[in-house]
A and B are shown apart, each in its own frame.
Chain A
Amino acid sequence: MEKKDLGFRVGTGAFALVLVVIVAAIGFELLRQSSLSIQKFGFAFWRTEVWDPVAGQFGALPFIWGTLYSSVLALIIATPIALGIAVFITDLCPSWLRQPLVFLTELLAAIPSIVYGLWGIFVLVPAVRAIEIGLPDSLREIPIFSGPPLGVGMLSAALILAVMVIPFTSSVSREVLKAVPPAQREGAYALGATRFEAIRTSLFYARTGIVGAIMLGFGRALGETMAVTMVIGNNPKISASLFAPQYTMAAVIANEFTEAADPLYLAALVEIGLVLFVMTLIVNSLSRLLIWSMTRSVMVVAEPSEPVADAA
């Protein structure tokens, strides 16, 4: 009997090992395919602003800038809304409304990126262009509003990213808020707190997990490809302007990978992929660590007598 169970363990374990192998293989393969570019450019790759495939000049700075700028903007827009939704669903809404709202916000995450992109090109971009044209001249002096009103550009990308990130941040925040012991809120109410003050208490209690939820959204925004590619304008030029067409790491891979005939060009694109991989890996791991430490500490506080299950 023991022997058979060992066979079962090893057999299923072998399948589970595949998952670990895939992750390691992705890292290894990206490193191998980009070695040409890594050897040739070294760290200069990440400090150079020139991206000129014809001249064989490859600098990734514009893409890093575009990725970080669009993701941070998206977070600034998405985070308050996502937290508002999470609080509304866990604390404020009538119970019959809860399930439908959860379903609808999850639907936001289920719509394919390409559909957001299509909508972005034909609906969002013209709308953004109209806003840009209508902007009073006095505001145009400010650097973030400078440049011609094209519609495609950083603002459109950030808006569409925000919509795509909201469901992720809000669903994790919801889980985290649910894990806050009811005593926190009840205690606040008992002391005469208003609704806002009671919820603020539980938000404060859940702060670690909420930071984790925001970072999870950040990880999503960093890697988002199609929708951004279709609305950001694809211009490798660093600019602080919201109206300027820019470029992201994911978008340059999507657009130029099949055209990269030269080995060095291809290696440079793979290196961008490698860095994107490492960046999302770090952001996601940190985010999970925060969420886990929050929910775990709550479990310990809430159920002190519960024995640890499955210690086998």
Chain B
Amino acid sequence: MMSTRLRKLLSSLFVAFCAGSVIVALVPLAFVLFFVISHGLSSVNLEFFTNMPKPVGEPGGGMGNAIVGTLILSGLAAILAIPVGVVSGVYMSEYAGTRFASIVRFAADTLNGVPSIVIGVFAYGVAVLPFKQFSALAGGFALGIMMIPIIARTTEELLLLVPGAMREGALALGATRARAVFTVVLPAALPGVVTGVVLALARIAGETAPLLFTSFNNRFFTTKLTQPIASLTVQVFTYAISPYEDWHRQAWAGALVLVTIVLVCSLLARIATHRLERMQAR
């Protein structure tokens, strides 16, 4: 048997180790944010948002086309993913105990764990190869597939939080199940569902791998959905691995824009969830 003093010492060491782990994990976070902000801020200007990329060797230029591209790709993904995600979330929560609901839940979790690069290969096979053309549509399709399981699972979880009395009230008044869900239960959970969608959007806006061979890249401004389109992430990647100083500078600026999107969305979601929790506690 160890002496009490030794046991207490061991215990303190353990507590110190745990506190230390938190610090060890937060150091890289601080480092990444510091470098992105300091390098990014010095290169981000109005030109960066409005101009097109310049040819190699000419300094200046911006990522205007890539920013529009990312917006278009995210929009396409949302159009595909929101209906499918929300409605399958409704199914999973309404018929939670059924075997099919468990299968769908398993499929959603599986899809969530599929590496994004594999989603890209899949989207290449079904949305690029048959048309022999890289396109914004294919990129949006790939991102949409990544978004569906996230939205489905959040919707399911949030719907299950809605008090049973609300649903029962609607049913008691003679509403059909569909009516009870779409006019009472879903609206009650709506702020949470919207938060989930915003978080999912933030996540896919930062994806690179599924776009490399679906929406590809484009040095020019385009809004044509059947053409290859630029995106912030692919542009940052191309610039980061290039040998040009000026392109590195712009890559940092692009990273700053991406991180800002993520930070703002996470904070908004945090505040919204906080409000929701307070409302439910009341």
Interface residues of A, Cβ cutoff 8 Å to B? 1, 4-5, 7-9, 11-13, 15-20, 22-23, 25-26, 29-30, 32-33, 80-85, 87-89, 92, 101, 103-108, 110-119, 121-123, 163, 166-167, 170, 194-197, 199, 219-220, 222-226, 230, 250, 253-254, 257-258, 269-270, 273, 276-277, 280-281, 284-285, 288, 308-312
A280 near B209: Cβ-Cβ < 8 Å: no
Interface residues of B (CB under 8 A from A): 7-8, 10-11, 13-15, 17-22, 24-26, 28-29, 31-32, 35-36, 39, 83-84, 87-88, 90-92, 94-98, 100-101, 103-104, 106-111, 113-122, 124-126, 145, 148-149, 152, 176-178, 181, 202-203, 205-209, 212-213, 216, 233, 236-237, 240-241, 248, 251-252, 255, 258-259, 262-263, 266, 270
In the complex, chain B residues whose CB is within 8 Å of the CB of A122: 35, 39, 240, 248
A224, B119: Cα distance in complex, Å: 12
CB pair A225–B148 under 8 Å, yes or no, is no
**Which of B145, B176, B252, B262 is close to A110, meaning CB atoms less than 8 Å apart?**
B262
Q: Which of A9, A108, A110 contacts B202 (CB 8 A)?
A: A110
B111 x A114 contact (CB < 8 A): no
- Could you list 18 examples of A-B contacts with CB < 8 Å? A9-B177, A13-B95, A18-B84, A19-B84, A19-B108, A29-B125, A30-B125, A85-B18, A92-B15, A115-B32, A166-B25, A253-B120, A253-B121, A254-B117, A257-B121, A273-B117, A280-B115, A284-B113
**Closest Cβ of chain A: how far from B119's Cβ, in Å?**
7
Which chain A residue shows the least CB distance to B256?
A: A115
Give the distance to chain B from A244, nearest Cβ to Cβ, in Å.
20
- Chain A residues with Cβ below 8 Å from B213 are 257-258
Contacts of B262 in A (CB 8 A): 110-112
Most interface-central of B8, B36, B107, B203 (chain A CB within 10 A): B107
Closest to A216 in B: B113
Cβ–Cβ contact A225 & B111, under 8 A: no
Partner of A33, one of B100, B104, B125: B125
In the complex, which residues of chain B have a beta carbon less than 8 angstroms from the beta carbon of A273? 117-118, 121
The answer on a CB contact under 8 Å between B96 and A12 is no
Residues of the B chain whose Cβ atoms lie less than 8 Å from the Cβ of A118:
36, 236, 240, 251-252, 255
List residues of chain B with CB within 8 A of the CB of A166. 25
Which residues of chain B are near A7, meaning CB under 8 Å?
A: 178
Q: A15-B83, A29-B126 are in contact. List 17 more A-B contacts (CB 8 A).
A: A12-B94, A19-B84, A19-B111, A19-B148, A88-B21, A92-B18, A103-B266, A106-B266, A108-B28, A111-B262, A113-B208, A119-B36, A223-B116, A257-B120, A280-B114, A310-B96, A312-B95
Question: Cα distance A310–B22 when bound, in Å?
Answer: 40
Answer whether A19 and B212 are a contact pair too, CB < 8 Å, given A7-B178, A81-B24, A284-B113: no
State A220–B114 Cα separation when bound (angstroms). Answer: 9
CA distance A107 to B149 in the complex (A): 20
Assembled-state Cα–Cα distance A288/B36 (Å): 35
Residues on the B chain within 8 Å of A16, using CB: 87-88, 91-92, 100-101, 104, 152
**How close is B28's CB to chain A, nearest CB, in angstroms?**
5
**What residues of A have a CB within 8 angstroms of the CB of B106 in the complex?**
285
Q: Are A105 and B25 in contact (CB under 8 A)?
A: yes
Q: Are A15 and B126 in contact (CB under 8 A)?
A: no
The reply to whether A13 and B91 contact each other, CB–CB distance below 8 Å, is: yes
Q: How far is the CB of B162 from chain A (nearest CB, A)?
A: 13
A223 touches B21 (CB 8 A): no
Given A5-B178, A22-B148, A112-B262: A281 and B206 within 8 A (CB)?
A: no
